[in-house]
Amino acid sequence: MNAQKKQIRWLLGILVVGLISFSLLYLLGYQSAVLEREELIHQIQKVEGERDYFIQHQGSLEQIQQQVDSLSRVLKAVERRFLTVREFPRVLRETAALATPLGLQIFSADPDIESFEAIVEDTARVKPLYMMWRLRGSYLQIGKFLQAWENLPFYQMPVAVEIQRLEKKPRVLEARIRSRVFIMKMNEG
């Protein structure tokens, strides 16, 4: 009986040690799985937060892109109103064409040679070119002529206007208008 009791105690001891070991391994495995699960939940929440942030700001990015596109279109429209050196004769033709229906007489339209040379030599992308217009007409005709410059397909702005009355013809004025057009250098190569 003693041997049987020893054997039962020994079996019970092994069973208890086995249960304790199994419980410890199970708890350690469970604890590890719980920690891993919590880490995965944390990572999922972080990714969801980032996703929500991007979804929330996607509209902002689209608005910014629309603004960039809009400003690019405006820039292209502005640049189309700059002339290249080859297009310069348009200034003479189209500006002179404004004078005819108004009854103005244009006596001269001369580009400023120094500003023209500066355009050729300078490396700036856009440079002003100055013109001197001499014409005759009334105040109203001259005013309408200058006002019509807004409708030209290129920028031309009056810089200085001198008007003198002709002694021989009191209703006729002579105007000297210094204007500025913008010449854009084209990329070479």
One digit per residue, the tens of pLDDT, for the chain of length 189 reads 677 777 777 777 777 777 777 776 666 666 676 777 788 788 888 888 888 888 777 777 788 888 888 888 888 887 778 888 788 888 888 999 999 999 999 888 888 777 767 766 766 678 888 889 999 999 899 999 999 999 999 889 999 999 998 777 778 899 999 998 888 876 543
Around Cβ 118, how many Cβ atoms within 10 Å?
16
How many helices (H) and strands (E) are present in the chain, helices listed first? 4, 4
User: Measured between alpha carbons, how far is 168 from 85 in angstroms, rounded to an integer?
Assistant: 40
**Topology (CATH level 3) of domain 85-184:** Alpha-Beta Plaits (3.30.70)
| Distance between first and last Cα of the chain | 110
Half-sphere exposure (CA, 13 Å, Cβ side) for 101? 7
How many angstroms separate the Cα of 171 from the Cα of each of 92, 104, 142, 181? 26, 13, 12, 30
Give 131's DSSP letter.
Answer: E
What is the helix (H) or strand (E) element at residue 162, kind and residue range? strand 156-165
Is pTM beyond 0.75? Reply is: no
